Amino acid sequence: MQLIAIDWIILGVYFVFVLGIGYALRRYMRTSTDYFLSGRSIPAWVAGLAFLSANLGAQEVIGMAASGAKYGMATSHFYWIGAIPAMVFLGVFMMPFYYGSRARSVPEYLKLRFDEKTRGLNAISFAAMTIFSSGISMYAMALLTNLLLGWSFGFSIWICAGVVLLYILFGGLTSAIYNEVLQFFLIVFGFAPLVFVGLQRVGGWDGLHAALQEVATSRGFADGAWTQTWSITGDAAANPMGLEWFGIAMGLGFVLSFGYWCTDFLVVQRAMAANSMSAARRTPLIAAVPKMLFPFLVIVPGMIAIALTQHADTSGFALPPKADGSLNYDLAMPMLLVHYFPHGLLGLGITALFASFMSGMAGNVSAFNTVWTYDIYQAYLRSGASDRHYLNMGRIATVVGVCLSVAAAYVANRFNNIMDMLQLLFAFVNAPLFATFLLGMFWKRATGHGAFFGLLAGSLAAALHHGLTLPRGATVGVKGGWLTVLDSYPSEMAQNFWTAIYAFSACLVLTIAISLLTKPRDEKSLVGLVYALTPREVSQEAAWYTRPAPLGCAVLAAMILLNILFW
């Protein structure tokens, strides 16, 4: 597929605006707080949309459409139970400590609440992970543009990396946040016509339903396997994900989702930049509203793609097979774009892909430069320098961070299995995190030694569990079973969820045990950091929808309603 002039012009307009925003903001970057925390001046709705958008990388958009094709509507578990409760919990219960402690980053909160070594562990693994994940998603993006548009591997990488570098270099976090909001609207407007055109092609919602029933039965599943979310999870063998409801609710809905949304600085940073405590608490709640509706934007196209493929002879659309004979689900979204959009709209769709890719990358880069500067450079390499020095360090970290991610993308292209191993390693490090934060914020007796060794034990438990189990049909190695195979799971996803459950439990138990054996912290030094010792803030706002708790309840009720509708 070749882009024509109108497509390029639309893409060009987008590039001009993202760079323009960065350039217009450069004169507001006077202190390191301006650069890394937007001077804590962002209104709630802007922070909320950025909170959502930073997580919405291209991998997310393409991957969720792929899962929509592969697993159907049940993919929404990643958006509903796997995100909303955690976002509400962050806004209602955890934000008061992140924002109220005046910590400048998530690792810094760990330093205030626990000790230096816990912060160091978290900061270093987080910094490495952000570089790595932006490299991986750049690699995925480059493969895609190569396949679809015939661009060389380096072209889309260098264009995107260069633009992201420039706008963050100029405008810091504010620039990342403003562009994330712009990218959010662009992603919505770029992909929405796809749902419209696609539904037209499959004969509306009813036609989609009918075609998906055929998809399900032809693969040996019950009628509703592609259109329902919970009713198919009584037995792991009854749904294409190979998951039962307990694994979904505990593994995804509790451990993994809370671990990501409540502790990952990439998203929490957006809320920390909000202009008041109330705005910071509302940030994840505002983000939750569009988040709930995103399945219709990113998962439904995947479902449309598989439905069209089922009737390839009449629809003229079919997902291409991969080398091993299985369908190449990752192409669901991009192939629909290329297949059904006329020129003009195609440019907009490609722009939306770039926007999602860049918002994800900018999120990683702006979180990286902050953690590097505050939690690694200032903490261990050079403390006590002037604020200007750290501001400059942040700019250098931005350049270095972008260059390292580009390098990671090239490594991913060359040595795919190294990346798989790294991804696994980070999964082990992340799995137990939420237990540490939960105990830190809600149990005043938890100590630094407890937290640190609890985290290590959790990661070790994750590695052990992974080394002893194997998903059905996989070969021993990076997929698991590298110690010996004691147990097997119906799917890789089931194995991941259970790895997380074991890691969380090990960290929880060990942190409690070691804390009880070590000397407690002086209670006075924990004020503002722990729930029981922090005076409750009385909300000043009059309208219910501006207060976190009622807003959180409304969001949860809507989420439950969606689950019932697609039960």
Binding site for another protein (CB under 8 A): 6, 9-10, 13-14, 17, 20-21, 24-25, 28, 38-39, 41-42, 46, 174, 178, 181-182, 185, 189, 193, 197, 340-345, 348
Q: How far is the CB of 341 from another protein (least distance, A)?
A: 7
What stretches of 20-107 adopt beta strand conformation (E)? Answer: none
- Name 377's Cβ contacts closer than 8 Å, sequence gap at least 6: 390, 393, 397
Smaller CB distance to another protein: residue 14 or 97?
14
Q: How far is the CB of 344 from another protein (least distance, A)?
A: 4
Smaller CB distance to another protein: residue 22 or 135?
22
Distance from chain centroid for Cα 437 = 18
Residue 488 β-bridge partners:
470
- Name 11's Cβ contacts closer than 8 Å, sequence gap at least 6: 3, 347, 350, 351, 354
Q: 481 and 468 in contact (C-beta within 8 Å)?
A: yes
Smaller CB distance to another protein: residue 266 or 348?
348
Q: How far is the CB of 393 from another protein (least distance, A)?
A: 22
Amino acid at 186: L
Q: How far is the CB of 39 from another protein (least distance, A)?
A: 7
The 3-state DSSP class for residue 119 equals helix
Q: Which helix (H) or strand (E) holds 379?
A: none
Smaller CB distance to another protein: residue 358 or 556?
358
Distance from chain centroid for Cα 331 = 20
Q: How far is the CB of 558 from another protein (least distance, A)?
A: 23
Distance CA(547)–CA(534), nearest Å, equals 19
Q: How far is the CB of 355 from another protein (least distance, A)?
A: 11
Q: How far is the CB of 48 from another protein (least distance, A)?
A: 12
Distance CA(540)–CA(210), nearest Å, equals 51
For residue 517, which of 455, 437, 450, 440 has the smallest C-alpha distance?
A: 450
For residue 362, which of 96, 562, 133, 32 has the smallest C-alpha distance?
A: 133
Smaller CB distance to another protein: residue 96 or 301?
301
Cβ atoms within 10 Å, residue 544: 12
Smaller CB distance to another protein: residue 340 or 452?
340
Distance CA(13)–CA(321), nearest Å, equals 35
Distance CA(488)–CA(294), nearest Å, equals 33
The 3-state DSSP class for residue 384 equals coil
Smaller CB distance to another protein: residue 152 or 200?
200
Smaller CB distance to another protein: residue 45 or 158?
45
Smaller CB distance to another protein: residue 176 or 256?
176
For residue 167, which of 317, 35, 310 has the smallest C-alpha distance?
A: 35
Q: 169 and 401 in contact (C-beta within 8 Å)?
A: no
Token output for 35: 């650069």
The 3-state DSSP class for residue 105 equals coil
For residue 523, which of 536, 538, 534, 512 has the smallest C-alpha distance?
A: 534
Q: How far is the CB of 553 from another protein (least distance, A)?
A: 28
Q: How far is the CB of 136 from another protein (least distance, A)?
A: 29
Token output for 446: 């938890």
Smaller CB distance to another protein: residue 200 or 217?
200
Q: 215 and 307 in contact (C-beta within 8 Å)?
A: yes
Residue 480 β-bridge partners:
477
Q: How far is the CB of 514 from another protein (least distance, A)?
A: 44
Classify residue 174 by burial, with Cβ atoms within 10 Å: 0-12, 13-18, 19+: buried
Smaller CB distance to another protein: residue 174 or 278?
174
Q: 391 and 126 in contact (C-beta within 8 Å)?
A: no
Distance CA(110)–CA(87), nearest Å, equals 20
First to last CA, the chain: 39
Residues in the chain: 567
Q: How far is the CB of 200 from another protein (least distance, A)?
A: 10
Q: How far is the CB of 38 from another protein (least distance, A)?
A: 7
Smaller CB distance to another protein: residue 7 or 244?
7
Smaller CB distance to another protein: residue 30 or 382?
30
Distance CA(560)–CA(80), nearest Å, equals 8
Q: How far is the CB of 266 from another protein (least distance, A)?
A: 20
